[in-house]
Amino acid sequence: MDIVDFATLTDDQRAQAAGVMRAGFAPIGAYQGQAAETEVTTFFEDPDRFALAALEDGAVVGFVGGVDGYPKALELHPLVVDPAHQGRGVGSALLTALEARAAAMGKLTVYLGSDDEIGGTNLFGAEVYPDPLAALAAIAPTSGHPFFFYRRHGYVAVGLIPDANGYGKPDLLLAKRVAGP
């Protein structure tokens, strides 16, 4: 597997990246249809965004994006791996590459939001008020959810946006220091 900058992708590989996005986000209904191509295009047109692709035999099997919005922190958005390639280290390799890129850019922290729209944690459908941070401290998996993938890679919960995607569908905020001060 090779990790490459999106800037080096062919038109066919760009189309593959959009296909990976559609397949990876299908369970939550995000980035379907033309929305995937539109998102992929942002990495070529927006100077504050970049992406890295995982290639296997020249085919895109996953990618990770970075959004440069703070002087010393980088937003990870999105990380997606083709469902047929999940569980093989592709996501971990992409995450490691993004963290290295962020550190090389002078960033101290990588942060992200991980929505729970399908019941992957015990916070799905739960009333988290009046103390959302106490609810976040007691988070537990109910099925596979990316939150726990990120925790295994050293990310810590730094916040929660209750009802971000509808009642009982929070956005879980995580961050990791990737370089020293």
Structural domains in the chain, CATH included, are 1-83 (3.40.630.30), 108-181 (3.40.630.30)
Split at pLDDT 50, 70, 90, the class of 77 is: very high
Question: To the nearest whole percent, how much of the chain has pLDDT over 90?
Answer: 94
Give the mean model confidence (pLDDT) for residues 107-112: 98
Give the mean model confidence (pLDDT) for residues 166-171: 96
Q: What is the pLDDT of residues 45-54, one digit of tens each?
A: 999 999 999 9
pLDDT for residue 28: 86
181 has a pLDDT exceeding 90: no
Strand 59-67 to strand 49-56: parallel, antiparallel, or no bridges (unpaired)?
A: antiparallel
> Helix, strand, coil: what percent of the chain each, to 5?
35, 30, 35
Q: Give every strand in the sheet of 49-56, ordered side by side.
A: 2-5, 49-56, 59-67, 73-81, 109-115, 171-177, 156-161
Split at pLDDT 50, 70, 90, the class of 144 is: confident
> How many angstroms separate the first and last alpha carbons of the chain?
32
pTM given for the model: 0.95
| Averaged pLDDT score across all residues of the chain | 96
